[in-house]
Structure 1
Amino acid sequence: MPDRTASHSLEARLGVGVAVGTVLAGAVGFALIGPSAEGQPQDKGTVAQVQVEKAHKAVSIGDKPEGYAVPIRKVEPSEAIRLALEQVGVKEGPGRQTKYHDWFVSTPNAKMTAERDGGFSVDDYNGAEWCNMFVSWVGAQLGVKDMGWDAYTVQHARWFAKKGRWGHKAKPGAVVFFDWQNGPDGGISGIDHVGLVVKDNGDGTITTVEGNTNDAVEKRVRSKSLVAGYGYPDYDAD
């Protein structure tokens, strides 16, 4: 089976069941227009994005956001890598569903990101591309600080950049974002897929753990030329 990994497009993530207007609104970023506090038209997608960012910022050491298995804490990179590796071999079930979908849809995060990306139903995440749900799940199970959570690779990468946690050095436990066509030259907007770095192999490749690869969680070796950039969670030193 081909290596079918997640596209960053809203259509690819949510499938043809999403209304065309909603897809366009989410993809372009000009969602339904409503009045701002000053009486001027305002993009509701932008308002929803602000809400998502506020929710991210509210997460700090000792907090236990809804959907997280444990309170936010300092985690060593090896813990995240270990949990991700334990998932290798987990496959999609009927309807392309996984436990990572089940978890994400159950969280308030899903409602916020669905509103941000076009106002679709959170149920549309079920069976959708799930590489970013997998990464988010790992962070939530361990309480990793500043791992971030999302279903949309581009938005997750933008969040890392806004936090000052974006770069181009492969580090164990980093969230790695891929652009199959342009690699680092494509910027954040061209991102197609995401995983976790296990190690830098020192030969121009990295070992990774990725969800939504050949319908499963897999351990892979990837060329660094495919990497758009890395997001760095706030880990303890290993």
Structure 2
Amino acid sequence: MAKHRLTPRIAKLDLARLALGAGVLATALGAHAAVNADTHTTTAPAATVKTAAAAKPAAKPEEAKVKVSAAQVLDTARSQVGVKENAQGGGTKFQQWYASSTRGGETAARDGGARADYLNAAWCSMFVSWVGEHTGARAQIGWDAYTVSHAKWFKDNGRFGSQAKPGSVVFFSWKGGKDLSDIQHVGFVVKDNGDGTISTIEGNTGNGKVEERKRPTSQVVGYGYPNYAA
């Protein structure tokens, strides 16, 4: 089942052994909140949302130039179309990479829990982060597992706005909310179709896959702007 928004909550429920490389013993991700019929969106408990901005990706976009173009980033994202999660909502390279990354340790400490909790967690933001890492554009794309924190990083660095651009990181609210706290999903913009829709590449959408989609701009909260090479 696809789970679009990873919350900062790490539940202390059932313990399970989850494989990551040689194996990690950690708490399994707990039960999720309200589910949207199409997007299977989970919502963050109010008590823990306030911790979401406590840690940020280390590099600020203006301080870390990259030699990667928007087209290269989109090509890498498109090459992953069809990758699908398993029946438990995990098993993707994106979750496994994030759980073992430095950032995984930082956000687990920020939000509570353990690295292994990411292995079966909502992975749309992990997909965006993975593409940034594997194209060399991480310093501009950022990395986080929580969509709200990812958007706040762009905003805090003066790179958040309302215009769709190829390669920009798009943040969605399915009910059309416009506050960062309303964000439930994230992906990449391929193009503005000029008819009130955008074409996108997203992870953890549909039935838990990487897919190319067409979305109404009415569901967009805003866009993060990596400073790509020309």
CA distance in 1, matches of 2:5, 2:162: 21
CA distance in 1, matches of 2:162, 2:114: 35
Q: Once the two structures are superposed, what CA deviation does each residue of 1:65-122 show, in whole Å capped at 9, x if it has no partner?
A: xxxxxxx7221100011111111001113532200001001111011111112x2111
Counterpart among 88, 92, 103 of residue 85 in structure 2:
92
- TM-score norm. by structure 2 comes to 0.78
**1:1-238, aligned counterparts within 5 Å?**
4-7=2-5, 9-10=7-8, 14-16=29-31, 26-29=48-51, 49=54, 52-53=55-56, 55-57=58-60, 61=64, 73-93=66-86, 95-96=88-89, 97-117=91-111, 119-144=112-137, 145-183=139-177, 186-213=178-205, 214-237=207-230
Aligned pair in 2 of structure 1 residues 143, 163: CA closer, same or farther (>3 Å)? same
Q: Which amino acid aligns with 2:194?
A: G
Q: After alignment, is 6-15 or 142-151 more displaced? A: 6-15
User: Which residue in 1 is equivalent to 2:37?
Assistant: none
Unmatched runs of 5 consecutive residues or more in structure 1: 18-22, 30-44, 62-71
Deviation at 1:57, TM superposition (A): 3.8
- Judge conservation of contact 2:60–2:157 (CA < 8 Å) in 1: no
CA distance in 2, matches of 1:12, 1:194: 20
Number of corresponding residues: 199
- Judge conservation of contact 1:74–1:234 (CA < 8 Å) in 2: no
User: What is the Cα-based RMSD across aligned positions, in Å?
Assistant: 2.7
Q: Which amino acid aligns with 1:157?
A: A
- TM-score norm. by structure 1 comes to 0.75
- Judge conservation of contact 1:77–1:236 (CA < 8 Å) in 2: yes
Name the SS of the counterpart of 2:154 in structure 1: helix
CA distance in 2, matches of 1:99, 1:181: 30
Name the SS of the counterpart of 1:194 in structure 2: strand
Deviation at 1:181, TM superposition (A): 0.9
CA distance in 1, matches of 2:62, 2:6: 25
Q: Which amino acid aligns with 1:88?
A: V
Structure with greater helix share of residues: 1
Name the SS of the counterpart of 2:186 in structure 1: strand
Q: Which has the larger radius of gyration?
A: 1
Aligned pair in 2 of structure 1 residues 110, 167: CA closer, same or farther (>3 Å)? same
Q: Which amino acid aligns with 2:228?
A: Y
Unmatched runs of 5 consecutive residues or more in structure 2: 12-28, 33-44
Q: Once the two structures are superposed, what CA deviation does each residue of 1:185-231 show, in whole Å capped at 9, x if it has no partner?
A: x3111000000001111111000000001211000000000000000
Q: Which amino acid aligns with 2:49?
A: A
